[in-house]
Amino acid sequence: MSHSENELAELGAAFDANVAQEKKIEPKDWMPEAYRKTLVRQISQHAHSEIIGMQPEGNWISRAPTLRRKVGLLAKVQDEAGHGLYLYSAAETLGTSRDQMDADLLSGKAKYSSIFNYPTPTWADIGAIGWLIDGAAITNQIPICRCSYGPYARAMIRICKEESFHQRQGFEMMNTLCRGTAEQKRMAQDALNRWWWPSVMMFGPPDGASQHSDQNMAWRIKRFSNDELRQRYIDMTVRQADFLGLDIPDTDLKWNEESGHYDIGEIDWDEFWKVVKGDGPCNRQRLAHRTKAHDDGAWVREAAVAYSDKQRAKQRQHAA
């Protein structure tokens, strides 16, 4: 529906007032086109991350060391699929379609989290992913439970409850390895060495290079900056590593009495952008796997559409 200049000004002012008063913006509410666009961008990429993130862990379901570990990992990977579906559904309330979002991912147009482009060569990687990656995800996602867009905020509340289980099972795996044989402890340290810096990069570019932060914080999509959440994650995780008896692979890591936070060494932003741009260790493998799964599932989508068309035709016949 087109609006006059005055009407648009009134609608914009009402929108800003609702956001400022912490009122949720719902799908049928008027919203600035740029607000809609940035939400489709962030929510769809969040969903893509959940789905692609199933690959590194799914790799180990058939090789889990015990039945208990297999059951826990199966439950976690199934949860991630569900998180992806909640988030795709939240994005669809903004007018985009699942087909469009899938096409954007498979064509390389849409991003997913850099963190899922690293390999998982040992069982300790599965513990490190739960402990570090889900720990980072929780740090980033808890504030999104208060996002101004209703469907995204509500999806996050359910997702964060399940992420807590993910983080705990990962930490417990690392704790078991660290209290096991010397070889198991070495495996846990090796996994921390490989996952620490990619997990710190997960929070996005530094505040000065974050293209969307200012506007998204004004719209209360984002509640804290990339660096604020990164620091929160670092302060929490350094202490957990200490409890495990593991060393953070950063010789510049030190407690800063003045700031009350840990200072860390330089983050390799060249590596970050290289991975984001598609040239990480597993980018091609992840996208090829997702593309094959999409192609293999074409018959299921066609059958579902044929069935729903038939049902609709029957309903029309009854109505006539």
Binding site for ligand 3HC (CB under 6 A): 41-42, 45-46, 49-50, 53, 80, 83, 111, 113-114, 133-134, 137, 140, 163, 202-205, 210-213, 216, 222, 226, 276
Cβ proximity to ligand 3HC, 30 vs 273, nearer residue: 273
Angle between helices 226-244 and 150-178 (to 10 degrees): 20
Token look-up 């299921």 returns 300
Q: Cα 79–84–90 angle (5° rounding)? A: 125
Nearest distance from residue 75's CB to ligand 3HC, in Å? 13
Closest listed residue to residue 218, CA positions, set 10, 12, 16: 16
The CA distance from 183 to 177, in Å, is: 9
Nearest distance from residue 217's CB to ligand 3HC, in Å? 9
Cβ proximity to ligand 3HC, 111 vs 146, nearer residue: 111
Rg of the chain in Å (alpha carbons): 22
Nearest distance from residue 229's CB to ligand 3HC, in Å? 7
Cβ proximity to ligand 3HC, 49 vs 189, nearer residue: 49
Nearest distance from residue 142's CB to ligand 3HC, in Å? 11
Cβ proximity to ligand 3HC, 25 vs 43, nearer residue: 43
Contact 33/99 with Cβ under 8 angstroms?
no
Nearest distance from residue 140's CB to ligand 3HC, in Å? 5
Contact 78/51 with Cβ under 8 angstroms?
no
Closest listed residue to residue 236, CA positions, set 118, 113, 137: 137
Cβ proximity to ligand 3HC, 133 vs 177, nearer residue: 133
